[in-house]
Chains A and B, each alone.
Chain A
Amino acid sequence: GAGVSQSPRYKVAKRGQDVALRCDPISGHVSLFWYQQALGQGPEFLTYFQNEAQLDKSGLPSDRFFAERPEGSVSTLKIQRTQQEDSAVYLCASSLGRASGLGAQYFGPGTRLLVL
C-alpha cells in the first residue's frame, strides 16, 4: 500500500460509547497529523506527531480526545464518552519530513463517525 490508510471507514456509535480510529501512514513518514472535518467545512487540526512524540495537541477539543503513536508508525485516535457533536469525518495525514520541513501532506480516506 503506497498511501495512507484509515480504519474503520465508517463508525456508528451510541452516545457515551468509546471509539478508536486507526491510521496507517505512508511507510517512513516522520510526521502524522489528525484533523476533524465537519460537514461542509474544511478540516481542522487536532494533533501532530513527530515519530512517536506528540508535539502538538492544541486542537483536541476536549480531554475526551486522546491520540497515540507508540512506535512512530500506526496512530490511534480515541474518543471517550462520545457526544453527538463529535460526529464528523476524522482525517489522518502523513508527511515525509518533520513539521518544520516543507513537505506536502498526504491524506487518508477518513473515518466517518456518526454518534446517535
Chain B
Amino acid sequence: KQEVTQIPAALSVPEGENLVLNCSFTDSAIYNLQWFRQDPGKGLTSLLLIQSSQREQTSGRLNASLDKSSGRSTLYIAASQPGDSATYLCAVRRNGNQFYFGTGTSLTVIP
C-alpha cells in the first residue's frame, strides 16, 4: 500500500514569508500527484495537479514540484498571506482508482 507522509504537521509563519511544504510517498509508480487545501469544516479545493511526466506546475504564488524517483513533492508558497491559512493535503494516484492522501500540514499565517 502507498504511504504518504507530510512534514511538518503544523507550521506557523509571519505574513510575507515564503514557505515550503513537503510530501513524500513510498511507491514511485504513480500517475499523478495533486495538492489540495482544506478549510475548517469544508471540502477540499484543488490547487495543483502534476502528472507523472511533469516536474513542476505553477499557479499564481504557488509552485509544486515532483521528483518521482525520490518519492517527493514540494509545495512552495510565495509571499504568504493570512488567507493562505488552511490545511494542505497532497494525494498521489497509483494505477487504477486508488488515491492516497497524506495527513496534511496545518498552516497558520500570522498577520
Question: Does B32 reach chain A (CB closer than 8 Å)?
Answer: yes
Identity of the chain A residue whose Cβ is nearest the Cβ of B103 in the assembled complex:
A42
Q: Are B103 and A106 in contact (CB under 8 A)?
A: no
* Alpha-carbon distance A40/B103, docked complex (angstroms): 7
- Tally inter-chain residue pairs, CB-CB below 8 A: 59
* Those of A31-85 within 8 Å (CB) of chain B: 31, 33, 35, 40-45, 48, 55-56, 58
Identity of the chain A residue whose Cβ is nearest the Cβ of B99 in the assembled complex:
A45
Q: Are A102 and B4 in contact (CB under 8 A)?
A: no
Partner of A42, one of B4, B31, B42, B43: B4
Partner of B97, one of A33, A43, A109: A33
Q: 1/0 per residue B52-89: CB within 8 Å of A?
A: 00000000000000000000000000000000000001
Q: 1/0 per residue B86-98: CB within 8 Å of A?
A: 0001010000111
Q: Which residues of chain A are near B45, meaning CB under 8 Å?
A: 107
Tally of contact residues, B, Cβ under 8 A: 24
* Alpha-carbon distance A36/B49, docked complex (angstroms): 22
Question: Does A25 reach chain B (CB closer than 8 Å)?
Answer: no
Q: Shortest beta-carbon distance, B92 to chain A, in Å?
A: 11
Question: Does A116 reach chain B (CB closer than 8 Å)?
Answer: no
Q: Which residues of chain A are near B97, meaning CB under 8 Å?
A: 31, 33, 45, 48, 55-56, 99
Which residues on A are within 8 Å of B, measured CB to CB?
4, 6, 31, 33, 35, 40-45, 48, 55-56, 58, 91, 93, 99-100, 102-110, 112
Which residues on B are within 8 Å of A, measured CB to CB?
4, 31-32, 34, 36, 41-46, 49, 51, 89, 91, 96-104
**What are 9 A-B contacts defined by CB distance under 8 Å?**
A31-B97, A40-B103, A45-B100, A55-B97, A56-B97, A91-B44, A102-B32, A107-B43, A107-B44
Task: Beyond the given A33-B97, A93-B44, please list 8 additional residue pairs across the A-B interface where CB-CB is below 8 A.
Answer: A33-B99, A41-B103, A42-B91, A42-B103, A45-B100, A102-B31, A105-B99, A109-B43
